Every structure is written in C-alpha cells, then in structure tokens.
Amino acid sequence: MCMQRLMEFREVIPGRDGRAVEALCWVGQRLFSAGLNGEITEYDLENLKPQYVIEAYGGPIWTISCNNQGTHLAVGCEDGTVKLFEILKEKIQFQRNLDRQKSRIISLSWHPSGARIAAGMMDMIRIFDTETGRATHRLLVERGVGASKSREVVVWSIAFLSNNTIVSGDSAGKVQIWDGLMGTLVRTHLVTKWDVLALAVSQDESSLIAGTSEGTIVQFQFLSSTMDRQDRDHEWVRTRTFKNHSHDVKALALTDTAVVSGGMDTQLVVHPLLDKVEKNTQEAAQRKIAFPHRSLVGCAKKAGLLLFQFPDHLELWRLGESDGNGKPGDSLTVKRKPEKLLQLKRKGEDHICCSALSPCGGWLVYSTVSSVRLYKLQHNNNISVNKVSKLPKELRSVHQLCFSADSSKLFASSSQSSVVVVALNQLECKYLQTLRHKSDSRQPIHLLSPSDDGKWLAAANTDCQIHVYNLHKMKLHCSVPVYSSCPTAVAIHPTTNNLISVHADQQIFEFSLQQKEYTEWSRKLQKQGLHGLWLKRDTPVTSVGFNPKNPTHIILNDTFMFCIIDQSLPLPESSTILYNQMTLRSLPAPERTRQSHAFKICKNFQHVLSMSLLDDLSLVVVERPLLDVMAQLPPPVRQKKFAT
C-alpha cells in the first residue's frame, strides 16, 4: 500500500525563472526549499505556489535541513555560515549563525537528538554543537588520487546517524564512515571513479544508499561480520548496486521496501528491495516515472489544432491531412503537412502552469501562479491573436483551465477547491459564478471535464473527491463516493450522462448522474474485477474519451497504450488473454467475435503524452520519445566499456 501511495502523482508547483531549487526539506506537512539565489521559500500546498520568501543573507544556499523535532531549519551558505531558523506556525525566523567557516557549506545533517549538526564542506567535514554554535570536530576528507589530487574534494552529501556515526559521500567517489564522537575515520568505501552525489538512510538506520554520477546506486547495510555475536562488531558492508539511471543520481530516498531515486535523466525510479517485498506482487515491479501525469497538450477537437505547453511558451499547431483512405496498417501519405501557427511567449518570470484551447480553436488561455491570460484567435489566411484585456478579478490564481464543448464558457479551478465559471462571447468575458462543493477539502482541483451538452461539469481534486455541478442551475449536483485512490482521468458520457472515472490504482468506475449511483456495468466490473495485467500497468490512464458514433465505446490511454472499452462485450476473465489483438487478427471473422472481449488494446505507441479524439473521428496521439529527451541532456560521465 505504501508503494501504491508513492506512485500517485499529485501536483506540480510551477517554477519561476531565476529561482532554481537547490535543496528541499519537509517539515511535517510543510515544504521548504532553498536555492542558489540565496532565498528560502515555503510553499502554499493548497494553491500550489510560494507562500513567502525569506532572504538568508549568506549568499547562495546549497543545502537545507530540519531537525527531527521539527523546530529548527539549518541552511548551509556559500559564505561558510550555517544559519539556524526557528520554525514558527506561519513563518520561519532567523535565530543564529553557527561558527563561520572558510569555505562553503555543501551538505548538512542533524543528529537525531538535534544537539549536533554535521556539515560537509570542501575537503572537510565539521561537526557543530547547536547549543553553543561552536565547531567541535574537524574531519579531513582525503582528496582523490592522480590528477584529481590537486582538485579539492567536495563533500556532496552527509548523514548523521543516531549512534554518532557520520556517513559522507564526496566528489572523489568515496563513501566514508566516521566516528562522530572521536572524529576518526572508520571505513572508506571507494564506490566510483566519479562523484557520490546523494545519500539516504533508512528509518531504522540499518541500511543506506549512495547515488553516483555514473547513474548507479550502491547500497550499504549495517551487518554483523560474524553470525553469533550481537551488535558489537556490526559494520557497514557494501551489498547491492542498482543501475537505473543514465545520468547523475541527484536525489534519493530509502523506504522500507524500495529505493526511490531521481536523476538528471529526468526519471524517477522506484526500485523495490526484493528481500522486503513479496515476489510477484505489484510492489515487486520496478517502476519508472518519466512524465508528469498531467496534460501538457491541448486539443481543439473541432478545429484540428494542438496546443503544446512548455514552461516558457506555448505552441499552436494545425494538424496535417491525408486523403483518408488506406488499409489497416497503412501509413497514409501526408497531403498537407502539419503547420506551426503560433508561438506565444509567456509574460513575466513565472512558469506556465496550465493552458487550454477551446474546441472551436477560437480561444486560448494560459495561467501562471500570478496571472491568467486569455487570447482570441482569428483564423483567416493567417492567424491573428488578440489578448482579452479585462479579465474578471476572480480569474487570478488557477490550477486547471477548461473550455465548454461549445466554447462559450471557460472553467478555471481556483483556490479552495472552487471552480470559476466565465462566459465568453465576441466582445467580452464575463464572470458568471464560482462553484463550490460542500465538503471541507481545500485541495486544488486537478481535473475538469464538462459534458458535451453543456449541462454538467465534473471536477476532481487531489483529495480523491469528484464533484459534479449542474451548469444550468450553477450548483452542485452530486458528489461521487470517494474512492481511496486519486482519479487520474474523468469524463462524462455525451449520451448516457454517465461519469467515467479512472483512478491511479487503474480502477474504472461508471457513475450515473441521473440515478446518482454506480451503473450496472460498473458494478459488474467491480464484482468480476479487472484483469491482472490491466492492474499491473504502471502508468496511469491520462484521458477518457467517447466515440460519438458508438455510445458503448470508451477510449482510454496511458503512456504505453490506448484502449477502447466496448461495454457491450463481455469483460475479460482472469484466464483470458488481455492483449489479444494479435490473436484476433489471425482468426476468421466468426471466431473473432466469439473470442473478443471488452478491452481492445493497441500498443503501437510509446511514451504517449496525449491522446484525443477529434470530431472527424480521427485519433490524435502525441508521442514524446524518451530518446529525444535524453538527447538534450548533457552527456553522462563516459565510462570505457570493452571495445568501445
């Protein structure tokens, strides 16, 4: 279950130019970050934006760490000071500087008691007494051999354990174990030729992991060298090596059952520790999370336009065309090439957090944490863009934007789980209503889905709630019973008005808005259970669509497949083959109908960023090949392999 929670993607706090985050720190439910701009930021997690920013006055900040008691934050600065901040209810307050050192503080770790802090610096480690602020020990870290002898060694990461052991990882590729009381070196493990960038220790301090710039993760365990005697001669033994990244491993976490690592290669990898999990369960599968599970692509279904959202600009493309005939499996000749119509640079320093394109292609809207901008697009021979100048003041800080099917309304999820409805016409944009639900959840709404007939609007928030509003009456119609897993895609059926929701644990529900209850099909699905292979997929469904020609068809997609669920067909039994398209293709037609089941899955596409069904019944799939992403990364440390 723990793994399952880990897998759920929650929200993105958009960044801002010049505010690179160097270090993060959780204090209970509060999140702090520090960066090389010298500022400490606390975030408003409800509205997904910085709550306040404090200048630390110590130059660039390299590290931030809070004590176990949650009372103090320590930051390590370029000028050689460790600054302590007291954590208050609404803010943090500077308390004192520890003894100033001659070189920058790269890493910090509190002793669990909170009485001492270890600081990693250039060529050395310092231990401070937090009461007096005095540096009590100086541990010299050896430089690398050979050419790197002249280069000072950087202690990139440090961990202070409760038995006063200090573990350090440095740029000479060493993981060193120190005695924090005596200030002596206990053991050196040479892990790599390059840098050890990150360390993480398990809760019970029996295991630690080190991430290197080769992309490997090395595990150490606190084991007894002899079997019989207890505790006396336990030592840190290098046990396992994982290689899940192609580039630097920058961040690590060690849970009870898994190693979670994030690297320069843009991937977050959950690697289960197989001795801690049951084999052949969902937890035992390694997972890579490459993409944010949210839509970065907008689609104008009627106009055939695509909107791509980048942190600093938007691109508008017109889809290409073909003559539209061909046998299954054919690649048609592209009669008209896709065309880039517009590149819109955002204003201000804040990154774009969401954007939307109206189905008619006439409106474009995007939002940063501070402002919303709406544009009217006119397609003549060439495209003209006009910013709508006066927006209602309610549209200020939004998390999600969405147009109604007839492009006459704009929905924006706003603070405290509310939805702002704005009417659009040729001339102006008028605030209509703010929709609120009755529960006390203040979590932001991350999914908005209006029905095609314009009567309903479904809104899902990260508290796993789904609320349905009646847009004619402008009030809450009903709330779907809360399911334990967060919805990742919701949509309302155009003819039956049933709400389909797909959740992070891959469950699918169909909820009738008329009856305000789960439909017969949904009950049948829950009773029979989804196919094992369906549940094993590790990327969430990111879109739900419907076939206007055939109301029994539901179209879903995740990163590696799309699927058409035919509600008229029998559900797959656990013994039937889920991915059966290949078999069906080889069968004669009558046999085929007997063998087919509700889940028609196509795995032709990889790394799918978005999928949408246009009004002309063609399906648009946007792939973002990981190789392209990799190609833009700086080259990893090059290792000589045999015969290369």
Partner 1 sequence: MAALYEGYTLCGLVPDQNLSSSGIQGIEEERDSDHVVVTDSTRSVTLYKVSDQKLLGSWTVKQGQTLTCSAVFNSQTKEYVVVSDNKVIRIWKEEDILLDKAFKATVSSDIWMVHCVRGGEPVVLFKRGAVRLLDSLLAAPQQPIEEVLNQEETIRWSNIIVAETQQFVIFTTEQKGDHFLYLQRLNPNTLQRYRLEREEPGVSSLSFSASYRDKHIHLLYLYPNGHVYQSVVSVQGLAVEEGAQALPLPRSLLLGLPVGDGLLEAASAMVLDEAHVAVVGVPHPSAGAGKDFLCIWNTNFQTLQAGKEMAGKIYGQLWSFSNKLFIPHGKTLSIIPFECPKSSLASALGKLRQAKTEESKAPASVPSWNNILHGEKAQPSRTVETRKTRTTRKTQSTPSVTIDQVLDLIKTAPVEEVQKEVEGFLSRADLQDLQPSVGQLASTLMSRSLNDPAFYSPSTLAQLVHTQCLCHSVCPDLVLLALEKKDYFLCQLCLQFFPDIPEAVTCACLKAFISVPDVDAEKARLEPDSISFMETLISRDRGQVGVQNGFSPTSCEEDCSDNVSGHQTRTEAKEKTSAPPEQICPVGLHKAVLLNEILQTAYSDTFLLPHLKDLSSQHVVLFLQYLQFLYLKYSQDDSLQMHGCRSPSLAQVMDWVCLLLDAHFTVLVMTPEAKGLLLNLHSFVRSQVRLVSELGKIESSLQELKKIKVKNDVGQYSIEVIELF
Indicate whether 322 belongs to the interface with partner 1 (CB under 8 A). yes
Cα angle 126, 157, 40 (rounded to 5 degrees) comes to: 85
Maximal C-alpha separation, the chain: 84
- Whether 104 contacts 150, CB under 8 Å: no
Q: Which of 259, 530, 564, 598 binds partner 1 (CB under 8 A)?
A: 564
Query: What are 409's two structure tokens?
Result: 């309304």
- Whether 555 contacts 547, CB under 8 Å: yes
Nearer to partner 1, 185 or 584 (CB): 584
Shortest separation between residue 78's beta carbon and partner 1, angstroms: 44
Shortest separation between residue 338's beta carbon and partner 1, angstroms: 5
Q: How far apart are CA 449 and CA 457, in angstroms?
A: 6
Shortest separation between residue 596's beta carbon and partner 1, angstroms: 6
HSE, side-chain direction, 13 A CA sphere, residue 150: 1
Indicate whether 632 belongs to the interface with partner 1 (CB under 8 A). no
Q: How far apart are the first and last CA of the chain?
A: 44
Q: How far apart are CA 174 and CA 235, in angstroms?
A: 16
**Running DSSP on this structure, what letter comes out for residue 122?**
B
Indicate whether 584 belongs to the interface with partner 1 (CB under 8 A). yes
Q: Which of 320, 529, 548, 570 binds partner 1 (CB under 8 A)?
A: 320
Nearer to partner 1, 241 or 606 (CB): 606
Q: Which of 331, 381, 389, 644 binds partner 1 (CB under 8 A)?
A: 331
Query: What are 109's two structure tokens?
Result: 């770790």
List of E strands, 180-215: 184-190, 196-201, 207-212
- Whether 637 contacts 611, CB under 8 Å: no
Shortest separation between residue 93's beta carbon and partner 1, angstroms: 54
Indicate whether 600 belongs to the interface with partner 1 (CB under 8 A). yes
Q: How far apart are CA 61 and CA 43, in angstroms?
A: 17
Nearer to partner 1, 70 or 320 (CB): 320
Nearer to partner 1, 182 or 334 (CB): 334
> At 5, phi and psi to the nearest 5?
-65, -40
CA dihedral 498, 291, 251, 156 (to 10 degrees): -150
Indicate whether 592 belongs to the interface with partner 1 (CB under 8 A). yes
Q: Which of 279, 327, 345, 438 binds partner 1 (CB under 8 A)?
A: 327
Nearer to partner 1, 383 or 602 (CB): 602
Indicate whether 577 belongs to the interface with partner 1 (CB under 8 A). no
- Whether 109 contacts 116, CB under 8 Å: no
Shortest separation between residue 610's beta carbon and partner 1, angstroms: 15
Nearer to partner 1, 53 or 334 (CB): 334
Shortest separation between residue 561's beta carbon and partner 1, angstroms: 11
Indicate whether 581 belongs to the interface with partner 1 (CB under 8 A). yes
Stretch that binds partner 1, among 159-167, 233-241, 324-332, 537-545 (CB under 8 A): 324-332
Q: Which of 10, 430, 516, 585 binds partner 1 (CB under 8 A)?
A: 585
Give the residue from 636, 644, 641 showing the smallest Cα distance to 267.
636
Query: What are 108's two structure tokens?
Result: 């910090």
Nearer to partner 1, 334 or 385 (CB): 334
Q: How far apart are CA 433 and CA 444, in angstroms?
A: 18
Indicate whether 334 belongs to the interface with partner 1 (CB under 8 A). yes
Nearer to partner 1, 384 or 550 (CB): 550
Indicate whether 337 belongs to the interface with partner 1 (CB under 8 A). yes
Nearer to partner 1, 51 or 581 (CB): 581
Stretch that binds partner 1, among 6-14, 422-430, 462-470, 578-586 (CB under 8 A): 578-586
Stretch that binds partner 1, among 10-18, 217-225, 331-339, 540-548 (CB under 8 A): 331-339
- CA distances to 38, 66, 135, 272 from 98, rounded to whole Å, are 17, 15, 8, 39
Indicate whether 338 belongs to the interface with partner 1 (CB under 8 A). yes
Stretch that binds partner 1, among 92-100, 156-164, 237-245, 320-328 (CB under 8 A): 320-328
Shortest separation between residue 327's beta carbon and partner 1, angstroms: 7
DSSP secondary structure of 542-562: -EEEE-SS-TTEEEEE-SS-E
Indicate whether 604 belongs to the interface with partner 1 (CB under 8 A). yes
Nearer to partner 1, 322 or 526 (CB): 322
Stretch that binds partner 1, among 85-93, 162-170, 334-342, 524-532 (CB under 8 A): 334-342
Give the residue from 252, 172, 239, 180 showing the smallest Cα distance to 210.
252
Nearer to partner 1, 417 or 596 (CB): 596
Shortest separation between residue 592's beta carbon and partner 1, angstroms: 6
> At 448, phi and psi to the nearest 5?
-130, 135
Indicate whether 329 belongs to the interface with partner 1 (CB under 8 A). yes
Shortest separation between residue 123's beta carbon and partner 1, angstroms: 48
Query: What are 260's two structure tokens?
Result: 């979670």
Site mask for partner 1 (CB under 8 A), range 494-523, x = bound? ------------------------------
The structure tokens 């690179």 sit at 20
Residue 313: beta bridge partners?
345
The structure tokens 């119609």 sit at 477
Indicate whether 602 belongs to the interface with partner 1 (CB under 8 A). yes
HSE, side-chain direction, 13 A CA sphere, residue 253: 13
Q: Which residues, 6+ apart, have CB-to-CB distance to 298 below 8 Å?
A: 306, 307, 309, 355, 356, 357
Q: Which residues bind partner 1 (CB under 8 A)?
A: 320-322, 326-332, 334, 337-338, 564, 581, 584-585, 592, 596, 600, 602, 604
